[in-house]
C-alpha cells in the first residue's frame, strides 16, 4: 500500500489515530488524546511566535528515503525550503529543518529516536521530542543538544493551562 492509497481508503477516514506507513508498507496507527492535542497546539503557537519567518505545519506527512511515510506532529520549514516543496501535495519529499514529535500514550521514546534518524537522513537539522508533561529534548544529527541551535529562545518546557 502506498501513501495515496492510505489517504483515500474509506475505512481509514475519521479515525482517532495518527496514521503512518512504515518501510514495509504496513499501516501504523497510534491513539491520541485531547491533552496531547493541546500540547501540540501550544508548541506550534510558541514556535510561530519565536520563528515567524518560515512555515509551521501540523501533522504533515514526509516521504522517507526508506519508503516509509512519517507524519511529523509539528514542523518548521524555512521559506526557502518551503517554496521549493510547496507544490508537493501528497507528502513532502524532504524533511523540514525542525521536526517536533510529541509522545503518544503507549509509544516508547526509543521509537521517536528511531524516527529522528530517518528525519536526519532526509535533511532535517533538528528533532525536538516532547514528553506528555511538555518537557522538550532537542537533537541534531550528532545527538542530544542542550537547546535548539535554530531557535535558541524556545523553552525546554511547555505548560498547559
pLDDT of residue 92: 94
Q: What are phi and psi of 90, to 5 degrees?
A: -100, -55
Q: Which residues contact 29 (CB under 8 A, 6 or more apart)?
A: 15, 17, 18, 19
Tell the burial category of 46 from Cβ atoms under 10 Å away from its Cβ (0-12, 13-18, 19+): middle
pLDDT of residue 145: 97
Count CB neighbours of 151 within 10 A: 18
Positive/negative CA dihedral, 112, 97, 75, 39: positive
Strand partners, 57: 75
Residues of the chain with pLDDT below 50 are none
pLDDT of residue 85: 93
Q: What is the pTM assigned to this prediction?
A: 0.88
DSSP string, 61-102: EEE-TTS-EEEEEEEEE-HHHHHHHTT--S-BSS--SEEEEE
Domains in the chain with CATH codes: 31-145 (3.90.1570.10)
pLDDT of residue 128: 97
pLDDT of residue 75: 96
3-state secondary structure of 10: helix
Distance CA 31, CA 39 (A): 15
Q: Report how far Cα 19 is from the mean position of its chain's Cα atoms.
A: 12
Q: What share of the chain is helix, strand, coil (3-state, %, to 5)?
A: 30, 30, 40
Q: 42-71: per-residue pLDDT in tens?
A: 999 999 999 878 999 999 999 998 889 999
Strand partners, 62: 70, 92
pLDDT of residue 95: 95
pLDDT of residue 91: 93
**H helix or E strand, kind and range, residue 129:** strand 126-130
pLDDT of residue 13: 80
pLDDT of residue 30: 75
Amino acid at each position: 500500500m502506498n501513501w495515496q492509497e492510505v489517504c483515500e481508503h474509506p475505512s481509514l477516514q475519521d479515525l482517532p489515530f495518527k496514521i503512518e506507513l512504515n518501510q514495509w508498507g504496513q499501516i501504523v496507527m497510534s491513539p491520541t488524546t485531547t491533552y496531547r492535542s493541546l500540547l501540540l497546539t501550544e508548541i506550534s503557537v510558541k514556535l510561530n511566535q519565536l520563528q515567524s519567518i518560515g512555515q509551521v505545519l501540523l501533522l504533515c506527512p514526509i516521504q522517507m528515503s526508506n519508503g516509509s511515510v512519517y507524519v511529523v506532529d509539528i514542523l518548521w520549514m524555512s521559506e526557502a525550503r518551503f517554496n521549493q516543496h510547496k507544490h508537493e501535495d501528497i507528502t513532502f519529499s524532504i524533511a523540514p529543518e525542525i521536526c517536533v514529535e510529541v509522545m503518544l500514550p503507549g509509544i516508547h521514546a526509543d521509537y521517536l529516536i528511531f524516527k529522528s534518524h530517518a528525519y536526519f537522513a532526509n535533511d532535517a537539522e533538528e528533532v525536538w521530542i516532547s514528553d506528555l508533561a511538555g518537557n522538550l529534548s532537542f537533537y541534531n544529527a550528532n545527538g542530544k543538544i542542550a537547546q535548539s541551535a535554530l531557535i535558541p529562545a524556545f523553552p525546554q518546557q511547555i505548560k498547559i493551562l
